[in-house]
C-alpha cells in the first residue's frame, strides 16, 4: 500500500474529513489533499502530528510492508471501545430518561440527540407507539460510524413503559444495544438475546408479565465504514 493510500485510510478510519484533519493538525486542507493524491509527502513535523493523533508509530505510518498493511486494513474496529463508551452514555441520557429530545426530523417522529466534547454525536428517531420502528446512529465528526434499526410492539395487557426504560438504563458494556440479558422487577421480566458482535449483530428483546409475553422488539445493526 502506497503512503498516499494509507494516509487516506487512516483519516477515514478515525472519522475525519480532510477539513477536520487539517484543523486538528493546524495545517491547510490543501496539504492533506496533496498528501492523499501523492503530490506531496508529510515532512517530519507532520508525521509526528499524525503519529500522536492516531496513536501509531511513524515507522508504521510510512512503512509499506505487506504484513503491516494487512493488519491496518483489518483493524477497522479499533475505535469501537470509544464508540461503545459514548453509546452507553447516550442511551442513558435520552429515551431511557425522556431527556435530550430534539425537533422531529420526520412527520410525527420522536427524536432524541446527545453529544459530548469528544466529537461523537448520537441520534435516536422512531415512529409509532404501541407498534413502533426506529433507528439509532452514532457519528464521529459528522461521519456515521454505527447504526441500529429496531421494530417492536406491545402484544399483551399490563405493559409498563417505565419498566422497559428501567431495563434500558441497565444496558451493559458487553451488549451495548438495548438492555441486559435479564432484568426483573416484581412480576415483570425482561429478556434480551443477541447474536453477533458490535460490528455486526442482530437481537431480540421481550417482556413477560408473570408468565405471559406482553412485549417484543427485534433489532439489528453494526459498524459503518
Domain of 71: which CATH number? Answer: 1.10.260.40
- Asked whether residue 101 falls in the same domain as residue 69, the answer is no
Last residue of a domain, one of 75, 101, 117: 75
The cell for 166 is: 428501567
The C-alpha atoms of residue 90 and residue 123 are separated, in whole angstroms, by: 9
pLDDT per residue rounded down to tens, the chain (225 residues): 789 888 988 888 776 788 889 998 999 999 999 999 999 999 999 999 998 888 788 888 887 664 555 445 444 444 788 999 999 999 999 999 999 999 999 999 999 999 998 889 999 999 999 999 999 999 998 889 999 999 999 999 999 999 999 999 999 999 999 999 999 999 999 999 999 888 889 999 999 999 999 999 999 999 887
Task: Give the residue numbers spanning the domain of 59.
Answer: 3-75
For the chain, give percent helix, strand, coil, nearest 5.
35, 35, 30
How many structural domains does the chain have? 2
Last residue of a domain, one of 75, 97, 128: 75
DSSP conformation class of 225: -
- Asked whether residue 87 falls in the same domain as residue 64, the answer is no
- Asked whether residue 65 falls in the same domain as residue 154, the answer is no
- Asked whether residue 159 falls in the same domain as residue 132, the answer is yes
E strand or H helix at 117, and its extent?
none
| Cα–Cα distances in angstroms (integers) from residue 178 to residues 75, 124, 169, in the given order | 26, 12, 9
- Asked whether residue 122 falls in the same domain as residue 181, the answer is yes
Residues 6+ apart with CB under 8 A from 162: none
Amino acid at each position: 500500500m502506497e503512503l498516499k493510500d494509507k494516509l487516506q485510510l487512516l483519516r477515514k478510519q478515525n472519522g475525519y474529513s480532510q477539513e477536520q484533519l487539517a484543523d486538528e493538525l493546524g495545517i491547510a486542507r490543501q496539504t492533506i489533499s496533496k498528501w492523499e493524491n501523492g503530490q506531496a509527502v508529510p515532512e517530519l513535523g507532520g508525521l509526528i502530528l499524525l503519529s500522536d493523533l492516531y496513536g501509531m508509530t511513524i515507522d508504521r505510518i510510512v512503512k509499506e510492508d505487506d504484513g503491516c498493511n494487512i493488519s491496518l486494513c483489518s483493524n477497522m474496529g479499533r475505535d469501537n471501545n470509544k464508540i461503545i463508551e459514548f453509546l452507553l452514555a447516550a442511551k442513558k441520557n435520552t429515551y431511557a430518561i425522556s431527556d435530550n429530545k430534539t425537533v422531529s426530523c420526520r412527520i410525527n417522529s420522536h427524536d432524541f440527540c446527545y453529544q459530548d466534547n469528544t466529537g461523537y454525536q448520537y441520534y435516536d428517531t422512531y415512529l409509532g407507539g404501541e407498534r413502533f420502528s426506529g433507528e439509532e446512529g452514532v457519528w464521529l465528526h459528522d461521519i456515521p460510524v454505527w447504526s441500529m434499526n429496531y421494530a417492536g410492539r406491545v402484544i399483551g395487557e399490563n405493559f409498563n413503559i417505565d419498566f422497559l426504560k428501567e431495563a434500558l438504563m441497565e444496558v451493559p458494556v458487553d451488549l451495548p444495544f438495548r438492555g441486559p440479558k435479564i432484568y426483573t422487577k416484581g412480576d415483570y421480566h425482561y429478556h434480551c438475546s443477541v447474536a453477533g458482535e458490535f460490528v455486526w449483530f442482530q437481537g431480540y428483546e421481550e417482556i413477560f408479565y408473570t408468565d405471559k409475553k406482553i412485549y417484543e422488539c427485534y433489532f439489528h445493526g453494526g459498524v459503518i465504514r
